[in-house]
Amino acid sequence: MDPRGSRSPALRRNACQYTRVWIPDPDEVWRSAELTKDYKEGDKSLQLRLEDETIQEYPIDVQSNQLPFLRNPDILVGENDLTALSYLHEPAVLHNLKVRFLESNHIYTYCGIVLVAINPYEQLPIYGQDVIYAYSGQNMGDMDPHIFAVAEEAYKQMARDEKNQSIIVSGESGAGKTVSAKYAMRYFATVGGSASDTNIEEKVLASSPIMEAIGNAKTTRNDNSSRFGKYIQIGFDKRYHIIGANMRTYLLEKSRVVFQADDERNYHIFYQLCAAAGLPEFKELALTCAEDFFYASQGGDTSIEGVDDAEDFEKTRHAFTLLGVRESHQINIFKIIASILHLGNVEIQAERDGDSCSISVSRTRAPR
């Protein structure tokens, strides 16, 4: 399929003056321009006026079909569904998302049944209980685009068709996959709450702090990057109440435990445990600050702006308790994690004879 095939074929033969197009730009990726002269088949360039009134001659290669993309009419710009655009191509998609985000503060846009989300990198007041109930029972196109609308559509189709439903959350690092999945789970936990007093929905949500603590880390692109893939399966009974859930994980980035690049951190749990080292129950773990451990300090700064590791550790412990993990078992888990930190400060060196070695233990170690 020609990625430029959605352009008007008129531009391939002739285009009138004032026709608006998109041209590539090294800084802005795409720039809007307007033809100042009619284009006829066989012309080797386009005469364009940019939005800053700059006149530019744009060379074209007719044989390779490298003609500019047509720009959508202004009346369509800002549509909440990309499929409503006359021309659906890269510059049109990016411009529409940009307008909705910067001018209307909308982070969600539909593309048919797909929801496109832009990470605002800040907390927005659009995920409260009142918003959940507002989307409950509504059709997908009746409300503004939202992760709750996608979750409601899956929930409604499950109830109507009595068939399993799947929501795939994908995107590059830092796009907001982890948070989007949490909001979808929160929606299901609210509208499909358990019929008994066992608070199954709370236990389903409680898995998130644990998985994030042990499987998420700071990277150069994302302060809370999931370093593993996960498949979450939520079960419902015949009355569509949550009865349980299970999670499968795969492709965990195990190498991060022993090595972190510059400006990155190990998994959050190591720093959470160090932040709680002063608690009486952790005295025997012999932990200190994260800077004292090689496996926690290779990336440089061990803290994350706006993140309280000690507070997050309390959330992790509370989640363990909510899921029924006894205090003694939790301590054993934390002992294993602490032992990994201590092991990182052990240096083994071979002796000259090659048949023996020496072991030295230091509180801190310089990066290798």
Q: Which residues does the annotation place in the binding site for ATP?
A: 171-178
String of DSSP letters for 180-245:
HHHHHHHHHHHHT--SSSS-HHHHHHHHHHHHHHHHEE--SS-TTEE-SEEEEEEEE-TTS-EEEE
Whole-Å CA distances, 363 to 18, 271, 289: 70, 16, 10
> Tokens standing for 98?
């940009």
Annotated binding residues, written as ranges, equal: 171-178
Strands (E), the chain: 14-15, 20-25, 29-35, 39-40, 45-50, 55-59, 69-70, 108-111, 114-117, 216-217, 225-226, 229-236, 242-250, 346-350, 357-361
**Rg of the Cα atoms in the chain:** 27
> Tokens 């590791």 belong to which residue?
309
The sign of the dihedral angle between the CA atoms of 48, 51, 54, 58 is negative
Q: How far apart are CA 116 and CA 109, in angstroms?
A: 5
Task: Quote the CA–CA distance of 287 and 336 in Å, as a whole number.
Answer: 12
